[in-house]
Amino acid sequence: MQKTMITRLLPAALLALASGSASAAGFQLLEQNASGIGNAYAGSAAVAENASTIFFNPAGMTQLQAREVSAGLSLVRPSFKFSDQGSKAGVLSGNAQDAGDWAALPNAYLSWALTKDLYVGVGMGAPFGLVTEYNPDWAGAAHSIKFDIKTININPSIAWRANEKVSLGFGLNWQRMEAEYVRRAGIVDLPAGAGGVLIPRPLSQSFATLDADDDSWGWNVGALFTVSDATKVGVSYRSKIKHELEGSLSVSGPNPVFNTVGSSGANATVELPDTFIFSVAHKLDPKWELLGDVSWTGWSSVDKVDIIRSSGALAQTLDTDFQDTWRVALGANYQLDDAWKLKFGVAFDETPVKNAEKRLTSLPDNDRIWFSFGGQWKASKASTLDMGVSYLYVDDTKINNGSATDLQKGLVKGEYDSSVWILGAQYSMSF
């Protein structure tokens, strides 16, 4: 009985910890370890520094010691500051508070060699997440007040060293997703009989909240090639994961009848994207190592999100119109001495949102450039501590979403001043 309760409570506890604010483009979270922050995650599928390779390329386990554990924490601080430039939102008006805030992203991994060529492992992280939260009376409050997506991913994996040049890896992914979406029901109040509803509709005074969750399965695969003593090439692929979110749509406000009529069960389907990574790691000499990374993410799987009532009626559509994206990263390591390594990295991360008309207030995303620095301290032969910091530059972001004639949401027109800071630490140990 106690074991069953722990099994049920563990995912909830992990989700509470893994409150994520998107750091990569879209609402993807690259911080599946903190040891890669210093390199802007360049070489992610080719470098097997610790057991976190389970996420980026499970084949990398063959490069580890017989038994290794690794755990880390990344702190992410996005900033989304909105300036109104002509929004038309009925009784709502004005700029918004910074919609970003600090978020904590934990990770943990275990790798175990069954034989000299066969390894098993398991990892835990939060590969997708997003929190944006505005004040309840800003111009876009009928679009979004709070948008909160959390995921937790548990990834059992296996790796096989085929020979000294080639290693292969495979993993399964159990993933839980929770979503909370809060907005005002509309920008104006409607009298009794409007729209065929025979009760007053205090839209601007009422709040609609969607709470839904789901768990689903996916898979990942990878290969690691030792081209020479100095060069390694890694490739990996993570599958799409389709979530059939189930929950409730509730309305709160001054009219109890309207609240009851507007509340119901609800569902939504979200297909999280697949990702392909190609990485290279090359040692120039005993001191310097160069890293490169090209990754593709299939964001077009999130074309739109329909929120459906239990009656089958459409409650709302989030017209995302996401497009596939590319990310390119370059990094370098400098071995200062036997104990210390310095890490450097830059990256360009393409947004899936291509125009201001499709940009959502819940996800005011744009292209970003990473500037990263970190260090690694090898405390002993068996233990290592990595630390890293990244600043993500985001260009001014235009939004022109909606219509002035839409009585439910109105028009949000303006500009976001955005940026992201990432701090993290990772402790790894062999035993």
Residue 25 near residue 349, CB atoms below 8 Å: yes
Q: Is the dihedral of CA 398, 401, 404, 407 positive or negative?
A: negative
Query: What's the CATH number where 19 sits?
Result: 2.40.160.60
Give the domain range for residue 97: 2-175+211-247+266-299+318-430
Number of helices (H), then strands (E), in the chain:
3, 20
Which residues are bridge partners to 224 per DSSP? 167, 234
User: Total domain count for the chain?
Assistant: 1
Domain assignment present for residue 83? The answer is yes
96 within domain boundaries: yes
Q: What global pTM score does this model have?
A: 0.92
**Which residue in this structure is represented by tokens 């610790």?**
50
Cα(162)–Cα(347) distance, rounded to whole angstroms? Answer: 33
Instruction: State residue 193's pLDDT score.
Output: 81
Q: Which residues of 370-402 are buried (b: 16+ CB within 10 A; e: fewer)?
A: bebbbbbebeeeeebbbbbbbebebeebbbbbb
> Is residue 170 in a domain?
yes
Specify the DSSP element, H or E, that contains 260. Answer: helix 256-262
Alpha-carbon distance of 19 to 376, in angstroms, equals: 26
Closest CA relative to residue 216, chosen from 237, 248, 240: 240
Note whether residue 382 is domain-resident: yes
In a domain, 257, yes or no: no
CB 209 within 8 A of CB 252: yes
* pLDDT confidence of residue 195: 72
Give domain status of residue 400, yes or no: yes
Residue 416 in any domain: the answer is: yes
Cβ(64)–Cβ(50) under 8 Å? yes
Query: What is the β-pairing status of strands 207-226 and 264-272?
Result: unpaired
Q: Tokens at residue 223, please?
A: 């290969």
Residue 305 lies in a domain: no
Give CA–CA dist 143/409, Å, rounded.
Answer: 6
Q: Are strands 67-84 and 383-394 parallel, antiparallel or unpaired?
A: unpaired
- The whole-angstrom separation of Cα 235 and Cα 45 is 6
3-state secondary structure of 112: strand
What pLDDT does 23 receive?
64
Strand partners, 291: 281, 331
pLDDT by residue, tens only, the chain of 431 residues: 344 433 344 454 455 555 556 667 789 999 999 999 999 999 999 999 999 999 999 999 999 999 999 999 999 999 999 999 999 999 998 788 899 999 999 999 999 999 999 999 999 999 999 999 999 999 999 999 999 999 999 999 999 999 999 999 999 999 999 999 999 999 999 998 877 778 999 999 999 999 999 999 999 999 999 999 999 999 999 999 999 999 999 999 999 999 999 999 999 999 999 999 999 999 999 999 999 999 999 999 999 999 999 999 999 999 999 999 999 999 999 999 999 999 999 999 999 999 999 999 999 999 999 999 999 999 999 999 999 999 999 999 999 999 988 988 999 999 999 999 999 999 999 99
CA dist 96 to 176, 180, 390, Å? 31, 20, 26
Three-class SS state of 31: coil
**CA nearest 388: which of 421, 364, 418, 415?**
421
Q: Under a CB-based contact definition with an 8 Å cutoff, are residues 84 and 93 in contact?
A: yes
